[in-house]
């Protein structure tokens, strides 16, 4: 079984912008590309896990999302970073339109996207990490059995909390990755 680092997208890798879907709105958080490059040198599977309620609300389409994601992944690859998989939830239980108004299993804080990635990549969740900026990220990661790191970028955990505490709190993705690599080097996890 493999170990993974699951990472939320908006507010962790890229700047939190209201429902960003246009390539011209893509802005990486300083240090996030370096963090992904450092992870790329390890045996961790790198998975992006992102709620995309803008699709559910009709602000943009899955096609728009896919084009934005392809552009982001191309920029990351060109910079020497690696992302092994991207999982997204296009649903919203209350504010979705049409087929997207669903109380699904994939929307964080539920663990559906994490579970799917674990099955697809042969990931041992108890040896894995989740990095996010919202309480829903932390709850999803911990509910799946991962250690959870809250970063202070994006929402920085200032959303309406759910009572779930992260295992660690760091300034940003770069410091979260350094923490994970340090813990791995120490044989802690």
pLDDT digits (tens, 9 = 90+) for 123-135: 999 999 999 999 9
Kindly report, residue by residue over 90-128, the tens digit of the pLDDT.
Answer: 999 999 899 999 999 999 999 999 999 999 999 999 999
Helix axes 135-144, 112-121, angle to 10 degrees: 50
pLDDT-derived band of residue 185, with 50, 70 and 90 as boundaries? confident
Active site residue 137: no
Q: How far is CA 47 from CA 58, 60, 117, 139, in A?
A: 26, 23, 8, 17
Distance CA 91, CA 84 (A): 23
Percentages helix, strand, coil for the chain (3-state, rounded to 5) are 40, 15, 45
pLDDT of residue 187: 77
The full set of domain ranges for the chain reads: 4-45+62-185
pLDDT of residue 189: 64
Distance CA 140, CA 96 (A): 21
Instruction: Quote the longest CA-to-CA distance of the chain.
Output: 50
Catalytic residue among 8, 84, 137, 172: 8
Distance CA 148, CA 180 (A): 10
Distance of CA 91 to the CA centre of its chain: 16
164-189 CB burial, b ≥16 within 10 A, e <16: bebbbbbebbbbbbebbbeebeeeee
pTM for this model (two decimals)? 0.96
Kindly report, residue by residue over 121-175, the tens digit of the pLDDT.
Answer: 999 999 999 999 999 999 999 999 999 999 999 998 888 667 779 999 999 999 9
Q: Is 61's pLDDT higher than 80? A: yes
Q: Is 65's pLDDT higher than 90? A: yes
What average pLDDT does the segment 42-66 reach? 97
pLDDT of residue 38: 98
Active site residue 10: yes
For every residue of 1-54, DSSP letters joined together read: -B-EEEE-SBTTTB---TT--SGGG--BPTTHHHHHHHHHTSS-EEEEEEE-HH
Q: Which CATH class is domain 4-45+62-185?
A: alpha beta
DSSP code of 123?
B
Distance CA 132, CA 6 (A): 9
Q: How far is CA 17 from CA 13, 25, 68, 123, in A?
A: 12, 8, 13, 31
The least confident of 60-64, 125-129, 182-186 is: 182-186
Kindly report, residue by residue over 15-49, the tens digit of the pLDDT.
Answer: 998 889 999 999 999 999 999 999 999 999 999 99
């Amino acid at each position: 079984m493999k170990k993974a680092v699951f990472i939320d997208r908006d507010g962790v890798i890229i700047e939190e912008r209201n429902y960003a879907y246009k390539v011209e709105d893509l802005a990486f958080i300083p240090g996030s590309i370096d963090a992904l490059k450092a992870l790329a040198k390890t045996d961790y599977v790198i998975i992006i896990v992102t709620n995309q309620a803008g699709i559910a609300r009709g602000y943009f389409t899955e096609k728009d999302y896919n084009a934005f994601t392809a552009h982001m992944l191309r920029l990351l690859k060109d910079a020497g970073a690696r992302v092994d998989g991207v999982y997204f939830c296009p649903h919203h239980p209350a504010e979705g339109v049409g087929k997207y108004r669903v109380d699904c299993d994939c929307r964080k804080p539920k663990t559906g996207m994490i579970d799917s990635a674990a099955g697809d990549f042969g990931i041992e969740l108890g040896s894995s990490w989740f990095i996010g900026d919202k309480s829903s990220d932390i709850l999803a990661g911990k509910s799946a059995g991962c250690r959870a790191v809250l970063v202070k970028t994006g929402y920085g955990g200032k959303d309406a909390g759910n009572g779930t505490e992260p295992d660690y709190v760091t300034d940003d993705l770069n410091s979260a990755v350094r923490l994970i690599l340090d813990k791995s080097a120490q044989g802690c996890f």
